[in-house]
Structures are given as C-alpha cells and as structure tokens.
Amino acid sequence: MVNLPIDPSEAGGAPKIGGDPTKPGKISQPDASSFEAYKEGAPGANAPEASQISPMDLASKTGISTTPTFSTLLAQANTTQDTLGDVQKNLNTPNLKLKKSQTDLLNTKLNNANDYLTAANQKLGAKVPEQTQIPKSANPITKFVGLVTDGQNKLVEVQNQIKNLNAKPGYLQPGDMLLIQVKLAQAQQEIEYSSVLLSKTIDSLKQILNIQI
C-alpha cells in the first residue's frame, strides 16, 4: 500500500512563516517615556547655556585659581607685555619667512589676543587706543608688528588704569576683577602660542642657513 504525501498546508503542527498578506500587521507605537529618557541622557541635553556661564566658570577653564587683586592684575599685565616684546623681537628677525599656514595661524592668534585685551580695557574702564594704521599692501610681517604694537598700547592703558583704581577701593566688583583676570589670561595664552610658533620658525631658519642670528 502506497502512502500519499501529506499536504504541508494541512499539517496542523507546521508553523506558518510570515504573516497573512490579507491581514495587515499591527504596528507597535514607540514608547514616549523611552524617547524622553533618551533625550535627557543625550550629550549636551543638560549643558548650560552660554549666557549662564559666570566669570568663575571662565576662570576655572583657564586654570586660574587665585583671587585677583590690583597687584596680581598689574603683574599679569606686565608679564603679557613682556611676552609681546618677545614676539616683536622675533618678528624683526632678518630673513624671516613664514609659510601660509603659519601666517594664517599667527594672524588669528594675534587678533584674538587684541580682542581679549580690548575686553579687559573696556571692563576696567580704560582707554582703548586706536589701531595702528598699516597699508593694505604691507607684507604679513609688517601687519603682525602693527598688531603687536596695538597690544602693547592697550596693555599700557591697562597698567595705568589699574594703578589709578588701586587708590579707589570698591570701584570694581570682585566679579569684574575676575573677568579682567580671565581676559588677560586668554590674551597671554594667544601671545605665548605666537611666541613659540615664531621661535620654532627661527630655529628652523638657523638650521637652514647654518648661521647665528
């Protein structure tokens, strides 16, 4: 006796693969609570707005830990002025040539430093000197010397104003003094970077020319 093959569609225990095309499947809705939890845990979800950043927050970012006084602000301005002097000396190096990438970077750093110094002058109530007039056709080195001169002039006004305010206790609030300290520190960082960049460039120049400048 020959057994007939069993029709798979009639086998009660056989599992069905896929859904019934005549019956649309039920689409599950996303869990709203899970989405809210994801938003709360997303990077930057709870980050403070820029307007909420206090002078104390800025000070911590720049590594400043001391409470500013007129004496410390004056010393800070003197140090920044000395570093600018080093930059100016390096810019006056004979046969100094900069690559375009170095020129762009130095231009950014010196302009940033001047912006920070302007902010310090304004917060102190000091005079902001006019910019040095440099012809548009001037070479980059000449323009950088002009930026350094502008920075030096601003620091002179900062130093004079600090000395004047030292005789007027209570004229500046602690928060204002901290902000001035931060701006001077930011300017100092940009100027120090410029000084290191120029020093390395000059060292390379010495090796190429094999001479002492």
Cα angle 113-56-182, degrees, rounded to a multiple of 5: 15
Q: How confident is the model at residue 60 (pLDDT cuts 50, 70, 90)?
A: low
pLDDT higher than threshold 90 for residue 43: no
Q: Taking all residues of the chain, what is their mean pLDDT, rounded to a whole number?
A: 78
Short-list 61, 160, 166, CA closest to 120:
160
Sign of CA dihedral 141, 147, 149, 155: negative
Query: What would the pLDDT profile of 107-160 be if each residue is shown by its tens digit?
Result: 999 999 999 999 999 999 999 999 999 998 999 999 999 999 999 999 999 999
Maximum average pLDDT range among 49-53, 74-78, 91-95 = 74-78
What pLDDT is stored for residue 170 in this prediction? 76
3-state helix, strand, coil in the chain (%, to 5): 60, 0, 40
**What's the DSSP call for residue 195?**
H
* Overall pTM surpassing 0.85 (yes/no): no
Q: What is the pLDDT of residue 171?
A: 81
Q: Are 177 and 73 in contact (CB under 8 A)?
A: yes
Q: What are the distances in angstroms from CA 3 to CA 6, 10, 14, 210?
A: 9, 16, 20, 102
Binned at pLDDT 50, 70 and 90, residue 50 comes out as very low
pLDDT band at 53 (very low <50, low <70, confident <90, very high): very low
| CA 12/CA 81 separation, integer angstroms | 92
**In this structure, what is the dihedral angle of CA atoms 28, 32, 35, 39, given to the nearest 10 degrees?**
170
CB count in 10 Å sphere of residue 146: 17
Inter-residue long-range contacts of 20-29, CB under 8 Å, 24+ positions, other chains counted? none
Q: Of 59-68, 94-103, 135-144, 160-169, which gets the smallest average pLDDT? A: 59-68
Q: How confident is the model at residue 64, as a pLDDT?
A: 63
In degrees and rounded to multiples of 5, residue 173 shows phi and psi of -80, 155
pLDDT digits (tens, 9 = 90+) for 1-37: 445 444 444 444 444 444 454 444 444 444 544 444 4
User: Which has more confidence, 178 or 209?
Assistant: 178
Residues 6+ apart with CB under 8 A from 129: 150, 153, 154, 157
